[in-house]
Structures are given as structure tokens and as C-alpha cells.
Amino acid sequence: VPKNPAIDALHREAAERRDVIGLAGGLPASELLPKEAMAEALAAAAQTDDALQYGWPEGAARLRGWIAGRLGARGLAVDPDAVIVTAGAQQALSLIAAFLPSGSTIGVGDATYPAAIAAFEAAGLEPTATRDAAAHYLVTGVSNPRGVAIDSTAALASGRPVIADEAYAELRFDGEVPAPLAADAADRVWHVGTASKVLSPGLRVGWLIPPAHAREAILQSKEAADLQTGSLAQAALVRLLDGLDYDETVARARRFYAERAGILVEALERHLPDARFTAPEGGFSVWVELEEPGDDVALLEAAVAQGVSFDPGSMFRPPADRARAPLAFRLSFSASGPEDLVEGSRRLARVLDRRRPGVRIPA
């Protein structure tokens, strides 16, 4: 199933237009990214031969050591040599997808990260909402798009491979980051993490800890895919982490996003009183469902015309469920300021109001 070109065109139009409030995408707040420290780390790294040269496919030893250390503190004992540095979490998903038997099903729930669905489909897997799947994909700690913890019990109990994507796990507003799922079943759980949400997506650094039996095969796939993750990005990240209080950086991000989430939730309650959503427990976004069915691409088109964008719910659905699922959308609060969050909600209300002339929505 190819990506919906209409959604892509609308998102590109929205990104180009300054008058459109962008509530689409999973972008971190630019003001939180450590620009100065990153500039220093990059400049220092670029002076070294290692950062400018080729490296081994598994990635830089010091970075793998940092990742293993951090996971160890959270209850997952892991050898640095078990870690493979990837081009973001996305490449980790793509490598895992290619490893799983083509044609088999992968349980993703009724809504999940769109690019995971794309990676699974590209590898010939069948993403499905049914629980009886040959493997499972979970965005742990803070799910995407729902923004709340999801129950991993059934997936773990299935005895099947489980992909645990920790993209947002550290960004739980309460700071209660669950232990990595791999701590319970390291022989079946594929652990996926990223530096994109807290430090910078522009580095394109993520990581994968495959079950031990799959490490060699994954490492060869990684090398065939792109030889290695950028030496410069890895070397800069190592330097950045050396000079950074990472716990404090994460804590600051939690406070920041929790405040923005609160603003968006309040604005939605005020301006879209009949929308159904759960206040997020972390992450970057709110998942909104409406009572009625409808065409969410047409809704996005109307919204962009009114100066606000979002991610249509169909992007997040397993292919077979796209047509029959209720009308839904994801609103990201992470990359818009307080005033834009409120004004974006107002504009959305106006769009929904026009769609349903019988319903009056307070201004």
C-alpha cells in the first residue's frame, strides 16, 4: 500500500505556508535541542580522523557503551557489543522487518506509528490489528499515536517476536519510565531506541538490540543497507553526551512537553467539546477520535485551507482497517507554541463546525 499522495501533498503545502499552524509530524521542539553544545561537539569531532572516516557497521564502541549503560540502569543488562547503532529508529524497524518471514502478520494494534507500517509493508509483512499475529510491534511507555502506556502483557505472553520501540518511553511526563521489555524476554524482544526525540532528529542516530541469535544476520543487513551509521554523527553524539547531564535534559523536556500537552488538552476541551481523546501521559501528541465516520483526507484539506494541519487517522491504521475505522486525527503539541496550540484548536473547531452544520461549536 503506497503512502497516500494526497496527504503527502497537503503536508508539504502546510509546511511551506507560514500561515498554517502545523500540528502534524512528530518533531521535537527546536528550542529544546542543544544547539550550542551540538555545534561544539560537531566541530570537535570533525577535527578527528575517525569521525570523518568509515567505521564498523555496528557503530562506535563508546556510543554503544553509553546506550548499554543507560539501559542497564533501567533494568536491562546488555553488553555494548549487543547494540547496533542505526540510522534512527526507523532503520532499526526496517532491518527487523526484513528479518521476519515475508508474508507473515505483525500485530500493530488499531493505530500505530505510520512509518513502522510502511517499513513492515516494504518488507512484505502484513500489519494487522488482530492479536493473533506472528509478531508484535509496540511503542512502549508512551504509545504513538495514543500517547498513553499500552499493555504489553498479551504480546509478551504470545511467545512471538516483539518489537519494543522506545521512541517516546523516556518522555513520560511522570518520569515513571518502564523497564525495557527486553528485560523480560531478551530472546524474543527486539529493542529499538533513538536519539531523535530528546537530542536531535538531524543526527539520524538510533539503536537496535536484536535477540542474540539474530545479531550477525542483522549486522550484515545493516552493512548491505548503508555500510554504517554516520561516523560524524556518532562521534558528535558521544562528545555531546560527555558534556551533558542527560537526566536533567530529559527532565526538562518532560516538563516542557507536559506544559504544552496541558495547553492543547485545555484548548480541545474548550473548542472541540465533542471530540474524544485521552490526555497524553507523555510524548508529543494527542489522538482525537470523532463519533462519526468520514473522509479524513478531505478533513485535512479543509483544515489546511483554514490554516491548520494534522495527521489524518488513516495514516496510523493497519491497511485493512483504514476504511471502517472512525474518523480520527493526531495533533502534535511538541513543535508549536502555546498561542498556536490554542489558535490551531479554534481553527480545527471551525473546520469541524462547517462539516456538520447542525452542530454548534462555541467560539
Positions touching its own copies (CB under 8 A) are: 2-3, 12, 25-28, 30, 33, 35-36, 38-40, 42-47, 49, 51-56, 86-88, 90-91, 94, 98, 115, 118-119, 121-122, 196, 200-204, 216-217, 220-221, 223-233, 235-236
C-alpha cell of residue 56: 564498523
DSSP state of 207: E
Q: How far is the CB of 43 from its own copies (least distance, A)?
A: 4
CB nearer its own copies, residue 37 or residue 302? 37
CB nearer its own copies, residue 216 or residue 274? 216
In whole angstroms, give the CA distance from residue 1 to residue 189.
27
- Separation in Å, CA 355 to CA 110, 288, 360, 361: 25, 16, 11, 11
CB nearer its own copies, residue 191 or residue 346? 191
CB nearer its own copies, residue 48 or residue 278? 48
In whole angstroms, give the CA distance from residue 116 to residue 122.
10
Q: How far is the CB of 61 from its own copies (least distance, A)?
A: 11
Q: How far is the CB of 59 from its own copies (least distance, A)?
A: 12
In whole angstroms, give the CA distance from residue 98 to residue 258.
36
Q: How far is the CB of 172 from its own copies (least distance, A)?
A: 22
Tell me which residue has cell 509496540. Answer: 138
In whole angstroms, give the CA distance from residue 278 to residue 328.
13
Q: How far is the CB of 190 from its own copies (least distance, A)?
A: 17
DSSP state of 282: B
C-alpha cell of residue 164: 519494543
CB nearer its own copies, residue 102 or residue 278? 102
Yes or no: say if 334 and 22 are a contact pair by the CB < 8 Å rule.
Answer: no
DSSP 135-158: SEEEE-SS-TTT-S----HHHHHT
Q: How far is the CB of 63 from its own copies (least distance, A)?
A: 14
Q: How far is the CB of 237 from its own copies (least distance, A)?
A: 11
Determine whether 279 is exposed, middle or buried from the number of CB atoms within 10 Å of its CB (0-12, 13-18, 19+): middle
**DSSP element (H, E) containing 276:** strand 276-277
CB nearer its own copies, residue 90 or residue 112? 90
CB nearer its own copies, residue 177 or residue 193? 193
